[in-house]
Structure 1
Amino acid sequence: MQFSKTLKAISLALFASSSYAQADQLDNTKNWQTFETENFRVHFTPEYEKWALSSAREMEAVRTLVEQQQGRVLSEKVDAYIIDPLNAANGFAVPLSHKPYMALFATPPMSDSVISNSTGWQQLLVLHEYVHLVHLAQKSRSNIRSKIAGWYDLYDASQIKGERWVAEGYATLLESKMTGRGRLYNNYVESILQQFARQGALPSYSQLSNINNDFMSGSMAYLVGVRYLQWLEENYGEDTLDAVWTRWTAVKNRTFNQAFNGVFPQSAKSLYQRFIAEYTHQALQKEAHYPEIDSNLWLDLSGYVSAPSISPNGEHLAVVEKTRNDEETKVSLHVYKTEENAEAKKEFNEEVAKILKDDPKDIAAKAPKVFKRKQAYSLHQTNSRGINDPRWLDDDHIVYRSTSLSSANEFHQDLFIWQLSSNTVTQLTREQNLRRFDIADNGQTIYAERNRYGKSQLVKLSLNTNKEASIESELTAASLHHVYDFPRISPDQQQLAYLVSSLNNKWSLKIKNILTGKIATVPVPENYQFLSFPEWAKDGKSIFFVAGLDQQTKLYQYDFTVKELSSLTSGEQPITWPVFKDENELLHLAINDNGPDIYQLAIDNANKTTITDTTTNASVTSSLASSYKLEAADIIVDSSIGEQSNYGVGPQQGTITLGGNFYSASSTMLELGYKSGDVLGRFDWQAHISQDFSSNILSGGSASVRWHGWPVKLLAHGYQFKLKTNQQFEDAINLGHLKERGLFFEASYPMQFETLKLNGFVQGKVAKTASFDSHYFSVGLQQSWSLDKQNWALHQQFNTTFLQGEDDFSQQISDSSYQGNNGEFDMNAHFKGYGLGVSYLWANRSSEAGNILSLGGYSASLIQEKAHLNKLLTPELAFYSQQANDYEQMQAYIPVSIGKVFYRRHKMDKQEVIDSYGFTGTIHNDFGFTGITDLVINYGVAQVNPENQKSDTQGWIGISHQF
């Protein structure tokens, strides 16, 4: 049970840091600073200083209010990292009871996000993540469990209780109660959930925490979870729900369900079913009062659909489609013909006629509401970078937003252009952090929102004939107080519509006269909450948008000529992304449980309702907030509440580490150690003792230290071990009891250019055995490159090392100098889910070295592969299965999700060939809390077939920490 909890803890930590999966790590070579207050340490780089110091003030305010509201507080100082690795709104918390920390992403959300309803992005984010810590990182009232958690990170993580919906739902509940905004009070969210309810598609209790291929499944823990928790409070009292959290941390160890069942009359699952029944009943009651929908289905799609855009000639519609399949998200930009698919209709009718001719009594299938329009062009994302917000430049070119990677290993949002006729893509901007945009002046001008270092502004770009876009002017100053979105140029190119949200204010729709600079505010419904998706009418005399009111969203039109606001839809459908097909026909998305579909609305025939209660005031009332309400959000730098200093080696967090290795060919071994480091991975060190308790085949100790605070990375590793080669589980060369100790140094310089990674290094090692002393000096290069076109991908890597060494044999008069090299070339590809890879690995030493290369054995904390270039570690073989001066390995394999199925051939000089085939996998994590960084898990099973010996089956699993 404890082992499964530990694996769950590892999974939790890996999930928490999954936002970094596209980037190796944060840039720990920058000038990191720390601002330390009474209860927080805030870490940041200089460009985020104002954001960071303001967040520190917000953290202290949030801590005080949460303590008042809950009577709970963290006794440990919290580390908060201010970062922006993806140029997107996000954040996470790691609720270790003795080492809590959180990461706050500076980029704010856009207007159509479910997290856009806030008093301010910084306040919302600080509150949500800190509540996670207070909720989940409370120390156990059991002294024993609490002390063990303080010593051992993975045990501490295994004590984090509750399902995902419990954690996310409760943080979302307090985010809303303490601000009067948030996802609980989001009309856009409510309209979607009511649509799901009417379809009977709200998640079951067992599905609530899931992230699967279903539309919006990952969001349900937040959106439905918070409403269920609110329902529990309303029906059974806030104190009853709060008692669950108190019972969680009791001396008696309880699961969430045990803590819940002790204070509620029924189980969480049973009460959830009642909640869903009531919620669905209310949604169905409301449905009875809706008039008939005026829109007609135009294109039936599935999955995540966004940003439809009509070509200038009206013949094509571009739309972004995202589908999730086996934890992989596929993103494509599809271009459909706008004309009806007469061919598909004809084929259907012919098929029906044939069926009835063959069997006149058969009942033919009904025709679909609309035949899917022909797909004319398709563009898939490259290297999982996404495709967003396409806009037509002309009938043959589409500009879209995607993620790019800078040489500093940072991600940025940039603009790209796709030429349909040639199917070529060109990058227009580099490292500009541009989000939504629009195109004007016959493609010569682009208006865009730019967000850098958490600051939002509107900018104007010029596009030259070489398809390069550069910033021409800044239309607004970069601001932490305002967020801009959806710039949309009018048909006459004279007016720019855009959305803007400021601290403690809702989104509002502005119209700026480009010539005069005059700005006007478009009236919207009184008491609105959600506002997004502006779209100009073809004649420029009115503007359309989507607004949320009374738990529903509607499509609205504001007519500038008569200065009148009208609603065009009933509110039953969750409407998004209106776009004009022609003067009178408007297309829009309508969300259902399978994802948005595209509908068509005839403006002249729409059931328009004039809105008389309008407003241009975007201020927010606090009526929905509880009595424990945060003060108004603000960006205030108060350096007096703390002290600023250089980050240095960072807050060092130490932990006991436990590792275990079972390799049926060689030995078993347990490893006990202590490891210390900081979250950025600037400075880390570890020490281990290793012992085979079953047969005492392998034992020893090792220590490593690493510094990554400079562009040049430094590593030192020392070890001492004893190996009984003749007592391993499988036969090997009988070298008796080998004793070896050594010291290894490495300096490396990694570089990255998009997916091309280079790492040059120099290494040195001195070692001593019973019979000789040795040392070598080596230089090498590691290189890798990949190209992923979604339907197919190619990955390649090449490593080579050249070394000069010398062995000092105690029984010889002269020393023996030698040269050698190690290398590996690997290439694999996949096409539509089917993969294949090949690799070639070699090592050779000059004849003066003697038989210095050995084949077999495994890597662990004690014996780390990079520190043993003369040991060719292969887990299915025992240490020193063979010795020689030349080695080559040829391998073919099929990649699968958790490893690879392989066949490999080992050829050691003129010795017998060894074939092996089976399955192997490796998990290597290099980010997170101390207990899981540098964690390596190896596993596999193989059939080993020596050339002249009987075959055997070998298996292995190893868990260790390796630098």
Structure 2
Amino acid sequence: MSRRIFSALAVLLALRATVLPFSLNRNAAHIDWRTAETEHFRFHYAKELEDAAGYIAGIAEGVYNDKIQRYNIKLPNKVEFTIRDDIFSNGWANSIENTMNIWVTDWDFPVRSTHNWLKDVVTHEFSHLVSIQSGSKLPSYIQGVVIGFQDYYNKPVQGDFATIIPFTGQPNWFAEGVAQYESERSGYDAWDSHRDMMLRVAALDNKLLPIERMETFAGISIDYEKGPYTQGFALTRFISARYGDAALIRLWAEYSRLHRQTMSGAMKRVLGKTDRQVYEEWRDETTARFAEQVKALGPQVYGQKLTSKGFYNYYPRWDHRDSGIFFASNAGRDDFRAPVRHLKLADTTKKEEERLEGVPGVRGQFDVAPDDSTFVFASARETDKNGIHKIDVYQRKALRDVPFFENKDPTEKRVTKELNAANPSYSRDGSKVVFVRAEPGLFRLCVAPVPEGRKLDPEEVKTIFPSDSLVRGKFGFNIYTPKFSPDGKRILFSYFDGETRNVGLINTDGSGFVPILARPYDERDPEWAPDGKSFFFSADSNGIYNIYRYTFDSRTIQALTNVVGGAFSPAVDSSGTKIAYINYDKDGFSLYLLKDVKPPAQPLSGAFPVHPQTADVEAMELSGKSEKYLPIPTRGILTPIVFGEQLVASNHQARNADTKWLIGASGYMNDPVLKNEIGAALLVETGKGIDYFGAHDEILSPDKESQFFLNVSNHSTAVTLSAAFARGNLTSSDTVRIRSVDGTDRDTLQTQNYALTFRDAQVSATYNLFDASAVGDEERASFVKLTGGYNWNDFNFYDL
């Protein structure tokens, strides 16, 4: 039975190892990690991210005192803050270890309006750290206690159980809602038009997620956003407005009481109502408010809905005959990965899926050539020499038959190499491509010719905007969805200047930049009219995203839709009279067709959109103040364990048996960059005295059951080095019949106690030979590891 305990300890430690982000990129051993220390933080970052790290340090120190004083808490030590960069945007805080991680590049996300990413994510994650620690029942490094019990195997009715009683365990809606709320208080986040859109559509369609679904990250990807994030933020703001801002602080304080295991209990104590009662108040008020908002909109103007499958359909592009529409769609998937498909507009008697045709190997952001012959698209399928994925622009032939065993498209051309390039778009003659490329903390606009061969000479890629002087010392300047003008001489694009998202115009040689639209709204997705005299775009001018037309000569703006959800990403046909666009409705982001392009009968009405007005941040100078990073494990988690097991009964009729209790703990320590990790666990039997050491020449006495496990791993080089040691001591007893030898035929029964002690040690070295991603609709990681190691073990048997 103790073997089960040992296995559980091994799994508990192995779970931590699975989160190390080094499985495919050879441990990122090429990175020159640096460490710089400020008053309240230790920042760890790649040397090339030093400027961004200084900006992040300024944000973190700027919000530190406000959050610490607000929650009346003292952190156990300086926060270990790791700064990374990759092909995704993310951030997380570990309140147990007092650590933070953020990724600096702001890749666009379809369910959020545009904010200053670094200001928001730093404040959001630090608010997690402070608020969750304020709600911890014991020191933050003790995450909970594991309690378990195991019946003997031949008991008629088994009664096994194992559980963890957490010391931190708040519902996700409250944790995420408070983090967003705290960032809003600092001016770095806001209840924006995207969140309002998702909540409005769900409320009016009676599809708000119940409070139970808001507590966890479950279901399809869009529910992740709608539940803990969007609804969590809305409910948190409701509690603040209805019960006072201080109620949020009191809820964390009440939750920190040792006996308090549910947020509902904390809310009943602080607010006088359970979480369900507060949720119902919020739900009813929210639904009523949105119903009034829709009444004020006036006559609604929509196009015809073309899709019902998938919650993420985006980037519509007309084919050259105007007989169909290419678009990215995640139909049949639970995440946001969206392969490109073609929808035929004729044959409307056929089912939707019968009119759809997939485009092999093309996914996400794309454009189609004017004659439909090829596609350009962004993909992260290739890696650099260090095994790190980079987003690049590729070209492929369109709508071709793919052989069953084809591994790579022979028509594919690579337009960029290791540039982190995205949002590609063709010129009208198909000879050039415009795209954006990411640098740490900002994006740049680039133009390149379509390569004649398989690859493009990097010298032919021209960066045209912004100039170094415009963005020097600034972070958060982003560029999106650039489009060539019909004559190929100008480029329209959306950009974020650190405060608002606007529409700009520039010549293809980089001269003559003009902010065409720079109003206090979120203005995005510009699309040229065929004659080049106007363009279409999406904006939240009335608090709801709609499609508008801007005319250059008159400098006038006309609304073309009036929707309840939100209208995005317009694509106009060659006649200029039909617009394919994306409309957010009850099914998510759906494809619509507006056949008659004309303004609504009356001006749009609604609420004024809210956008954060952020304060300037003074970057901290880290150059010359940093030191080489030392991967020393300093932070960890300790989990006490109490486990009971019953000795095997002597026969199947037995109803009772002696109970054996073991106590101990599991824990691990690591360094902030996760280069070195130490994990250990120990359980020992209680109730047999305190002489745990030295008997029978064993370090731990064999008459008491015990389990010990130690694992050490190092990821500092391209070769992963690991070592593990396990020792187990299992005790048991047998009933032995001793036959009489004196002829009296009187046998006796005797109990024989014994112990089995085993030891096992392993060392290994692992190296990833290569890393690649396969083509097709699914991204499949294909890698081969070279591993060598040594294993030693022995066993001893003791009569006790």
Fold in common (TM above 0.5): yes
Match of 2:671 among 657, 671, 678: 678
Q: CA deviation at 1:275?
A: 1.4
SS state of the match for residue 404, structure 1? Answer: coil
In 1, distance between residues paired with 2:195 and 2:707?
A: 58
- Structure 2 residue aligned with 1:531: 523
The answer to which of 26-35 and 170-179 deviates more is 26-35
| Contact 2:760–2:792 (8 Å) recurs in 1 | no
Match of 1:192 among 190, 198, 222: 198
In 1, distance between residues paired with 2:17 and 2:92?
A: 6
In 2, distance between residues paired with 1:72 and 1:549?
A: 41
In 2, distance between residues paired with 1:249 and 1:314?
A: 62
Given the alignment of the two structures, is residue 750 of structure 1 paired with residue 768 of structure 2, yes or no? Answer: yes
Distance 1:148 1:715, change over 3 A: closer
More strand by share: 1
- Structure 2 residue aligned with 1:647: 629
Q: CA deviation at 1:51?
A: 0.8
| Residue type at the aligned position of 1:421 | R
SS state of the match for residue 649, structure 1? Answer: coil
Given the alignment of the two structures, is residue 556 of structure 1 paired with residue 548 of structure 2, yes or no? Answer: yes
| Residue type at the aligned position of 1:53 | G
Given the alignment of the two structures, is residue 412 of structure 1 paired with residue 390 of structure 2, yes or no? Answer: yes
| Residue type at the aligned position of 1:117 | T
- Give matches, 1:232-381, under 5 Å: 232-250=239-257, 252-302=259-309, 303-323=311-331, 331-342=338-349, 374-379=355-360
Distance 1:192 1:673, change over 3 A: closer
SS state of the match for residue 263, structure 1? Answer: helix
| Residue type at the aligned position of 1:194 | R
Q: CA deviation at 1:387?
A: 3.1
| Contact 2:360–2:777 (8 Å) recurs in 1 | no
Match of 1:396 among 373, 395, 402: 373
**Aligned residues: CA RMSD:** 4.4
Q: CA deviation at 1:412?
A: 2.0
Q: Deviations over 1:228-276 (max 9, x none)?
A: 2212222221122321122122355442111111121322211211211
Match of 1:495 among 469, 480, 490: 490
In 2, distance between residues paired with 1:744 and 1:541?
A: 72
SS state of the match for residue 101, structure 2? Answer: strand
In 2, distance between residues paired with 1:153 and 1:44?
A: 36
Distance 1:740 1:466, change over 3 A: same
- Give matches, 1:208-219, under 5 Å: 208-214=214-220, 216-219=222-225
- Give matches, 1:419-818, under 5 Å: 419=397, 420-423=399-402, 424=409, 426=412, 428=414, 429-440=416-427, 442-471=429-458, 472-476=461-465, 477=467, 479=471, 480-481=474-475, 482-503=477-498, 505-514=499-508, 517-523=511-517, 528-583=520-575, 584-607=577-600, 622=613, 631-633=615-617, 636-639=619-622, 643-656=625-638, 675-686=668-679, 705-717=712-724, 745-754=763-772, 787=774, 789=776
Q: Deviations over 1:520-572 (max 9, x none)?
A: 22246x5x422211111111110111111332122111111222111112243
Higher RCO, Cα 8 Å, sep 6+: 2
| Contact 1:16–1:92 (8 Å) recurs in 2 | no
Q: CA deviation at 1:742?
A: 8.0
Q: CA deviation at 1:315?
A: 3.4
Distance 1:149 1:670, change over 3 A: closer
In 2, distance between residues paired with 1:546 and 1:536?
A: 13
- Structure 1 residue aligned with 2:153: none
Q: Deviations over 1:459-494 (max 9, x none)?
A: 122221224245421112465432111211111111
SS state of the match for residue 451, structure 1? Answer: strand
Q: Deviations over 1:9-64 (max 9, x none)?
A: x99x9899979598568625522111111211111011111111221121111112
| Contact 1:74–1:138 (8 Å) recurs in 2 | no
Q: Deviations over 1:638-690 (max 9, x none)?
A: 349x952221124522454678999x99xx99985664321433233455657
- Structure 2 residue aligned with 1:158: 166
In 2, distance between residues paired with 1:745 and 1:223?
A: 47
- Structure 1 residue aligned with 2:78: 77
Q: CA deviation at 1:723?
A: 8.5
In 1, distance between residues paired with 2:100 and 2:66?
A: 18
- Structure 1 residue aligned with 2:114: 117
Distance 1:174 1:752, change over 3 A: same
Distance 1:445 1:650, change over 3 A: farther
| Residue type at the aligned position of 1:445 | K
| Contact 1:396–1:421 (8 Å) recurs in 2 | no
Q: CA deviation at 1:320?
A: 1.2
Q: CA deviation at 1:725?
A: 13
| Superposed structure 1 runs of 4+ greater than 6 Å apart | 13-19, 150-157, 608-612, 618-621, 657-662, 668-671, 690-700, 719-727, 736-743, 791-801
Match of 1:176 among 169, 175, 184: 184
| Contact 1:655–1:675 (8 Å) recurs in 2 | yes
Point out where structure 2 has 5 or more consecutive residues left out of the alignment: 148-162, 403-408, 649-660, 689-701, 735-753
Distance 1:443 1:670, change over 3 A: farther
SS state of the match for residue 304, structure 2? Answer: strand
Distance 1:38 1:608, change over 3 A: same
Q: CA deviation at 1:753?
A: 2.4
SS state of the match for residue 230, structure 1? Answer: helix
In 1, distance between residues paired with 2:93 and 2:68?
A: 18
In 1, distance between residues paired with 2:664 and 2:270?
A: 43
Distance 1:539 1:274, change over 3 A: same
Q: CA deviation at 1:582?
A: 3.2
Equivalent pairs counted in the alignment come to: 705
Q: CA deviation at 1:510?
A: 0.8
SS state of the match for residue 500, structure 1? Answer: strand
| Contact 1:788–1:794 (8 Å) recurs in 2 | no
Distance 1:117 1:792, change over 3 A: closer
| Contact 2:112–2:195 (8 Å) recurs in 1 | no
In 2, distance between residues paired with 1:68 and 1:394?
A: 62
In 2, distance between residues paired with 1:437 and 1:447?
A: 6
Distance 1:656 1:137, change over 3 A: closer
- Structure 2 residue aligned with 1:42: 43
| Contact 2:319–2:325 (8 Å) recurs in 1 | yes
| Contact 1:32–1:647 (8 Å) recurs in 2 | yes
In 2, distance between residues paired with 1:688 and 1:621?
A: 48
In 2, distance between residues paired with 1:107 and 1:16?
A: 26
Distance 1:251 1:393, change over 3 A: same
- Give matches, 1:821-832, under 5 Å: none
| Contact 1:390–1:401 (8 Å) recurs in 2 | no
In 1, distance between residues paired with 2:586 and 2:273?
A: 29
Q: CA deviation at 1:81?
A: 1.0
SS state of the match for residue 552, structure 1? Answer: coil
Q: CA deviation at 1:200?
A: 1.8
Distance 1:376 1:689, change over 3 A: closer
| Contact 2:314–2:327 (8 Å) recurs in 1 | yes
Match of 1:226 among 204, 225, 233: 233
| Residue type at the aligned position of 2:213 | Q
Distance 1:100 1:398, change over 3 A: same
Q: CA deviation at 1:225?
A: 1.6
In 1, distance between residues paired with 2:273 and 2:106?
A: 40
Distance 1:445 1:740, change over 3 A: same
In 1, distance between residues paired with 2:134 and 2:451?
A: 58
Q: CA deviation at 1:597?
A: 2.2
Point out where structure 1 has 5 or more consecutive residues left out of the alignment: 345-370, 623-629, 728-735, 756-786, 802-865, 872-878, 881-963
| Residue type at the aligned position of 1:39 | H
SS state of the match for residue 443, structure 1? Answer: coil
Q: CA deviation at 1:293?
A: 3.4
